[in-house]
Amino acid sequence: MTVTITAFESSPDGGKGLARDTRVRWALEEVAQPYEVRLVSFSAMKEPAHLALHPFGQIPTYEEGDLALFETGAIVFHIAEHHAGLLPDDTEDGANARARAITWMFAALNTVEPPILELANAKLLERDKSWSEERLPLVEDRVRDRLNQLSARLGDAEWLDGAFSAGDLMMVHVLQRLKPSGILDEYPNLSAYVARGEARPAYKRAFAAQLALYAGKPSG
């Protein structure tokens, strides 16, 4: 059945892979599933047709036959559950490892991503406020608190828990958002972890696909 995802018609990052359709593309590439992309403008995202798919008027969405999903966590989990390659097998031996990989997906989205988004918003939306300069170091330190903990857990391991999983996919994409801040460079093992994710052929294909849409075009 054809899978169709939505992405920005015009991406604010000009194709640096930071918009969240990249993590869905990456998951589909990891499990070798073809997909189509429907591009949506910022105004179309807030119109009834798109709101029926995504109640918050965002991208990405995922359609497959009768199924329509939103939220990248749910979408990547769905892909991982239905195709081999992103989660350990649900066998007696693999069940615990599978549960731990899913835990890392939630940790990426619920524990690591929020302070990173807070930093992105502080830089993007609050720079002109009188209190911005005073607040920014506090927000940056909240990111560092999480990265200190994540870095300690990862240590010199290749991936978060054994083989590469949907948990790593999600964590790497969440951490990428920090690159412009320079904070990731303070953590050599996390920088190397992100680089390992980016070196995966599936990631490269996903990145190239979104770059091909936006490179050289004015960002929206």
Distance, in Å, from the CA atom of 82 to the CA atom of 31, rounded to the nearest integer, reads 9
Nearer to ligand GTB, 97 or 112 (CB): 112
Q: CB count, 10 Å around CB of 220? A: 12
Nearer to ligand GTB, 1 or 124 (CB): 124
Q: How far is the CB of 135 from ligand GTB (least distance, A)?
A: 21
Report which secondary-structure segment, H or E, holds 4.
strand 3-8
Q: How far is the CB of 140 from ligand GTB (least distance, A)?
A: 18
Nearer to ligand GTB, 14 or 85 (CB): 14
Positions in the binding site for ligand GTB (CB under 6 A): 11-13, 18-20, 45, 57-59, 71-72
Residue whose structure tokens are 């991208």: 59
H helix count then E strand count, the chain: 9, 4
Q: How far is the CB of 77 from ligand GTB (least distance, A)?
A: 11
Q: How far is the CB of 155 from ligand GTB (least distance, A)?
A: 28
Question: And the tokens for 65?
Answer: 């036959």
For 76-126, the three-class secondary structure string (H helix, E strand, C coil) is HHHHHHHCCCCCCCCCCCCHHHHHHHHHHHHHHHHHHHHHHHHHHHHHHHC
Nearer to ligand GTB, 59 or 160 (CB): 59
Q: How far is the CB of 93 from ligand GTB (least distance, A)?
A: 31
Instruction: Tell me if 176 sits within 8 A of 136, measured CB to CB.
Output: no
Q: CB count, 10 Å around CB of 24? A: 28
Nearer to ligand GTB, 97 or 113 (CB): 113
